[in-house]
Structure 1
Amino acid sequence: MNLVVSNLSLTLVTGLVLVALFISYREKLGLNKDIVIGVIRTVIQLTVVGYVLKYVFKINNWALTVLMILIIIVNAADNARKRGPGIDNAFLISFIAILTSTVVVVGTLIATGSLKMIPAQIIPFSGMVASNTMVAIGLCYRSLNTSFRDQRQQIIEKLALGAEIKLASKSILGESVRAGMSPTIDSAKTVGLVSLPGMMSGLIIAGVDPVKAIKYQIMVMFMLLATTAIGSVIACYLAYRKFYNTQMQLK
């Protein structure tokens, strides 16, 4: 039986937000305003996007489909940029990483016949790729900033001994790429045992046979592993140079 959420049910379920508001108030977290703004934005943004997607899916126009994907990537890149304070051209780096991972992964899914060339499939999967790449890049930026600050003296010593900036930064690059990929790898290890992920749960709720839903979820997990790997590597190898000046010295 398919799950149907009526407007009344949805309105009543918003009462769950009061739980978060109460905890924030009780523990003096100062998050009440952010929670309210987040809820309002969620409702408005998803409602608008829902109607826009309905229109895009209906007319099946490739120009609009590409535009929607670019809007997703630009927003993801902008959010990733905010997690890399002090990194020059963080937006451009994030955009290149997210665009590349989206083209490679979604293109592979289309080439293998896993996805059809229709907006109803291309746009949602592009959104999943961009979203997960955005999170991975944010973790990479945080790791880069922390590592370059904490290991400043070691890097200076390596440079003084004649090491090139890539060699001097090699351990930091490895740590940062690992930081970006770790959440997805951990999720892959526990999928099905700890949680039923979004794709699988959504299909089961929609009435799809659980065995068939598993195939889709396996495909998604493989997709996300490739996505975070590609995005993390590109972001780290483009961003680490921004910690050096034109004389190859640490800023």
Structure 2
Amino acid sequence: MTVEGLSVPDWTGVSASLLLVALAAFIAYRQQLNLTRELVIAAIRAGVQLVAVGAILLIVFRHTALPGAFAWVILMVIIAGQVGGRRGAGLPQARRAATIGVAVGAASTLSALLLLGVISTEPRVVVPVGGMVVSGAMQATGIALRRIREDAHQSRPAIEARLCLGLPARQAFLPHRQSALRTALVPSIDATKVVGLISLPGAMTGLILAGVDPLTAIRYQIVVMYMLLAATALAALVAARVAERALFDPAQRLVPLPD
């Protein structure tokens, strides 16, 4: 199937790609990884979700204009907050921390891009760019919260020792917050270092496939990578601070955590 000079797989081609899923499932089965069922369910779920999202976005792009695009981005933020919060399961208010972190990171970055005129205000631009921002922010918050949970559990004696020495809760937990933020930002930093050398990222690949000149696609990808750096840093920082506050009671004592 050809759309404006671009060869796009038809539904027969999509069905044929299921052979690749079958290959992955066969490997998982033969190697006794206990992942065959999960792999098949993931593939089916991905297909159903993408078809449903494609149908909804068609309505958003044609009938709801910019308010519909923003509503869709807000929905993505809410879902991302729930997913990111699961990584910090066991932390008080983990999902709240993740949702606030993703919301601040995505809203700040996307607003800056729109206000400065870096990206268009068309829904077909706002939604995919917003999705990239929210996805990056979600991953960063999830990593940060998981590391905070691990440090709060494993390093409890050290934290309580600092509290006993008279340090306020924020200073007592500072080394662990810094560690969590470093861990959360490393994947984005590494991806930025090797972009274009090891892989051609999604935005650039999509534009090239659509027939856009590579140098034009590169400009867009540079904006995307810088935007993701800002979004992940903001999201991880905000989520870590919210989670940190929930770790201490009003008397600045570290609250009990489940094992």
TM-score, normalized by length of structure 2? 0.93
Q: How does 1:31-50 map to 2 (within 5 A)?
A: 31-50=35-54
User: What's the CA shift string for 1:4-62, capped at 9, x where partnerless?
Assistant: 11111111111101121112112211111111111111111110110110111011433
Separation in 1, partners of 2:115, 2:74: 20
1:237 aligned partner: 241
Match status 1:83 vs 2:87: yes
Of the structure 1 ranges 238-247 and 127-136, higher mean CA displacement relative to structure 2 is found in: 238-247
Separation in 1, partners of 2:224, 2:238: 21
Separation in 1, partners of 2:254, 2:181: 20
Which of the residues 11, 34, 37 maps onto 1:7? 11
Cα 1:123–1:16 change in 2 (3 A) is same
Give the letter aligned to residue 11 of structure 1.
S
2:139 aligned partner: 135
Q: How does 1:135-174 map to 2 (within 5 A)?
A: 135-174=139-178
Give the letter aligned to residue 80 of structure 2.
A
Q: Percent identity?
A: 33
Q: Contact between 2:85 and 2:99, CA under 8 Å: does it hold in 1? A: no
Give the letter aligned to residue 177 of structure 1.
L
2:250 aligned partner: 246
Note the residue ranges of structure 1 that are not aligned, 5 or more in a row: none
Which of the residues 102, 112, 118 maps onto 1:114? 118
| Partner-residue secondary structure (3-state), 1:88 | coil
Note the residue ranges of structure 2 that are not aligned, 5 or more in a row: none
1:209 aligned partner: 213
User: What's the CA shift string for 1:55-91, capped at 9, x where partnerless?
Assistant: 1101143332222111111110110111111122222
| Partner-residue secondary structure (3-state), 1:138 | helix
Separation in 1, partners of 2:250, 2:124: 47
Regions of 4+ moved over 6 Å = none
TM-score, normalized by length of structure 1? 0.96
Separation in 1, partners of 2:64, 2:125: 11
| Partner-residue secondary structure (3-state), 1:82 | helix
Q: CA deviation at 1:98?
A: 1.2
Give the letter aligned to residue 95 of structure 1.
T
Separation in 1, partners of 2:72, 2:152: 36
Match status 1:225 vs 2:229: yes
Q: Contact between 1:132 and 1:227, CA under 8 Å: does it hold in 2? A: yes
Match status 1:28 vs 2:28: no
| Partner-residue secondary structure (3-state), 2:87 | coil
Count the aligned residue pairs.
251
Q: Contact between 1:97 and 1:235, CA under 8 Å: does it hold in 2? A: yes
